[in-house]
Amino acid sequence: MVTKVFKQHVIAKLKELESNSGLSSKRFAVKIGINNAQWSRLKKGELDGVLADSKFITIARQNEISMGGSFEWKTAKTPAFQYITAALDICQQQSISTMLVDMADIGKTHTAKFYARNNKNAVYIDCSQVKTKQLFVREIARQFGANHTGRYADVYNDLVFFLNSIESPIIIVDEAGDLRYNAFLELKALWNATEGHVGWFMMGADGLKAKITRAINCQKVGYTEIFRRYGSAYKRVSPLAGDDMKTFKRQQAALVAKANAPEGVDIQKLITSSNHSLTNVYNKIRVMNMKNKRA
């Protein structure tokens, strides 16, 4: 059973997200998958009979809202976080496009989601979940609280009109290498239709670089244009290899561990045992907090 405390916790977090999003109440309701009347009642403190318990759970999951009282991950200002945040801010303010291709496990996705949650007219798209043209465009529309369920041509045209009408929107396209070919072509079409009005930030690992490079070499239609629109460069945060890479990973892991490890934990031992991996640091700290909660 979903408790009243959990529902209140979810609503409080959603209010924060709405305030940061820059969306109207009606558009924010669309974004989270309910109607405006329901959202209005929830904000007034009404809980009974407004949403099913399962819907509260779904909304909490989709917006990464933890159970009230449970451990919440703190964002550390690592070198990767600072670099990516600065790049995102430039893209949004200047309505330009950038492509970041870097190794996994440096905090790219966490930083992008953090930025989208805390900046107006910024949305994050996980392309691994919306690989086709229609799913991709409809998800962008939903994240902006625009029409996303009607006829596809209307969804696309409404989205273009909306993006060209609001102040400095940015669309963060993560796991871009997972997009199918027709979605890449639609991405190019959206860029063309919103040129000078929208900032685009494409992210991925080595697979994205390999996919685009291979397609360009094979003269596959659209990829040369996409690469040019994103600055004709693969930007990265981390050093390429060697001692600089080891220092970078160690610094990242130390900052994240210091921000999140329970009091009294030997930070140096923690990051060494984690092999300087942010994923391993996260998993070890999560286990520690679960044990502390049960104790």
| pLDDT, tens only, 240-267 | 888 999 999 999 999 999 999 998 899 9
Kindly state whether residues 132 and 178 are assigned to the same domain. Answer: yes
Is pLDDT at 154 greater than 90 in this prediction?
Answer: yes
Kindly state whether residues 129 and 209 are assigned to the same domain. Answer: yes
Residue 148 β-bridge partners: none
pLDDT band for 70, please (50, 70, 90 cuts).
low
CATH number of the domain to which 142 belongs? 3.40.50.300
Determine the average pLDDT of the residues in 25-29: 94
- Percent of the chain's residues with pLDDT above 90: 84
Whole-number Å distance between alpha carbons of 201 and 39: 30
Kindly state whether residues 151 and 195 are assigned to the same domain. Answer: yes
Residue whose C-alpha is closest to residue 75's, from 118, 104, 45, 42 = 118
| pLDDT, tens only, 157-167 | 999 999 999 99
Kindly state whether residues 194 and 112 are assigned to the same domain. Answer: yes
Whole domain around residue 194: which residue ranges?
79-229
Is pLDDT at 69 greater than 60 in this prediction?
Answer: no
| pLDDT, tens only, 192-225 | 999 999 999 999 998 899 999 999 999 999 999 9
Residue 235 maps to a domain: no
Whole-number Å distance between alpha carbons of 75 and 52: 32
Domain boundary among 179, 202, 229: 229
Mean pLDDT, all residues of the chain: 93
What local confidence, expressed as pLDDT, does residue 1 receive? 66
Determine the average pLDDT of the residues in 267-277: 93
Quote the pTM value: 0.91
| Kind and range of the H or E run holding 182 | helix 181-193
Residue 141 maps to a domain: yes
What local confidence, expressed as pLDDT, does residue 71 receive? 67
Which token pair is 81? 């976080």
- Residue 204: phi and psi, rounded to 5, are 180, 180
Residue 145 maps to a domain: yes
Q: Total structural domains in the chain?
A: 3
Domain boundary among 207, 229, 251: 229
Residue 74 maps to a domain: no
Kindly state whether residues 112 and 199 are assigned to the same domain. Answer: yes
Helix (H/G/I), strand (E/B), else coil: 176: helix
What local confidence, expressed as pLDDT, does residue 242 receive? 86
What local confidence, expressed as pLDDT, does residue 272 receive? 93
Is pLDDT at 11 greater than 80 in this prediction?
Answer: yes
Is pLDDT at 226 greater than 80 in this prediction?
Answer: yes
Whole-number Å distance between alpha carbons of 237 and 235: 7
Long-range CB contact pairs, 140-147, < 8 A, 24+? 140/171, 140/190, 142/30, 142/31, 143/31, 144/23, 144/27, 144/31, 144/169, 145/23, 145/24, 145/26, 145/27, 145/28, 145/29, 145/30, 145/31, 146/27, 146/30
Kindly state whether residues 221 and 246 are assigned to the same domain. Answer: no
What local confidence, expressed as pLDDT, does residue 292 receive? 76
